[in-house]
Chain A
């Protein structure tokens, strides 16, 4: 969060995912993308009533972690907002891990 406040941008090094396909959970897949943008694709039974909420949470969580360019695929099974935030956080942290072959 402090990083974001300082305007630091953090890189994603790899594709990553977090979460599950269980009811009440969400699978978040994230991949780095070239363009300076956050794109979000949502697959969810609740999207007719919560797609804006889902989008906002994903964007905000990415921003707090200083991530500016990422492609998200959200496969949601009715996850509450805090669950989504946790899964996005985990997926981004995993994607930020530097390559291990260094």
Chain B
């Protein structure tokens, strides 16, 4: 699914069996099995084999499976794609994307492996990780580089290094990059995903960071610890009144369609395109936390 919810994308080290097995119980929207930073150079092959077996065997439930593969210019990237695509993860996340060509290349490579294994073209989606100043400035073209691309994430650790700064608690140094990524992604109709917050003990700092990301237009947040998942879901939880309003709008639309009427009004206000898409978005978020009739009651 292109536009499924990706509020929380939780990283799990790709070479750690226990953490891979337990990841789905925390119910992040997406699980990112990490073959890049979390895996040392001499264990790249082992992590790859482990993740392939995990994808073939484990039930990830409602969680989307994403594999963070090593960057294009590493000796592991091709092997990662060749090994993983046949195991059919939902998505690959390409680390260190700097040029549209990186995505074009990965797209083509994934397509070849899909063809070789009789997997329908386009099954495995792509996500670009923007982690450098150069990547940020190319974000707009990267976002439009492939049909396969459904999301674009921001990696602040490498980014701050690339602009020769350091991460601060309020993230002032990230503002421009975040804004550019949100705009590039939204303009291309894909989802922008915000960077990780690595101090897992600072719940309040994390919550503020997620609130800021949501306000800026990010669709979700990368998480590094299960406890962050619940916080993200809380922040993205719509208010009761938002949900009721969205339900009223959708009911009015159905009613208007039934009567063949073109003009729709709710509480005396005209309902137009942006209002409808906001209502749809609110209902999608509401359903995920069990706020709508027939919704998920997992408490997430």
Contact = CB atoms under 8 A, between A and B. Distances in A.
Interface string B64-98: 00000000000000000000000000000000000
Contacts of A22: 16-18
Interface in A16-42: 18-19, 22-25
Given A85-B53, A86-B52, A86-B53, A80 B17 contact: yes
A51 interface: no
A83 interface: yes
A83 B16 contact: no
B45 A79 contact: no
B133 to A, nearest CB: 37
A79 B53 CA distance: 13
A19 B46 contact: yes
Interface in A50-86: 79-83, 85-86
Interface stretch (B54-62, B155-163, B201-209, B267-275): B54-62
B21 interface: yes
B49 A24 contact: no
A85 B56 CA distance: 11
A86 B17 CA distance: 10
A45 interface: no
B58 A86 contact: no
Contact of A82 (B18, B46, B58): B58
B230 interface: no
A94 B18 contact: no
Contact of B17 (A18, A24, A89): A24
Interface of B: 16-18, 21, 45-46, 49-50, 52-54, 56-58
B105 to A, nearest CB: 26
9 contacts: A22-B16, A79-B17, A80-B21, A83-B53, A85-B53, A86-B46, A87-B46, A90-B50, A94-B45
A17 to B, nearest CB: 10
A16 to B, nearest CB: 11
Contacts of A18: 46, 49
Contacts of B49: 18, 86-87, 89-90, 93
A90 B17 contact: no
A46 to B, nearest CB: 14
A89 B53 CA distance: 10
A23 B18 contact: yes
Which 8 pairs show the lowest CB-CB distances between chains A and B? A24-B18, A82-B57, A86-B53, A86-B50, A82-B53, A83-B17, A90-B46, A86-B49
A58 to B, nearest CB: 14
Contacts of B21: 24, 80
Contacts of B17: 22, 24-25, 79-80, 83
Nearest to A93: B45
A82 B45 contact: no
A93 B52 CA distance: 15
A96 to B, nearest CB: 12
Nearest to A26: B17
A87 B21 CA distance: 15
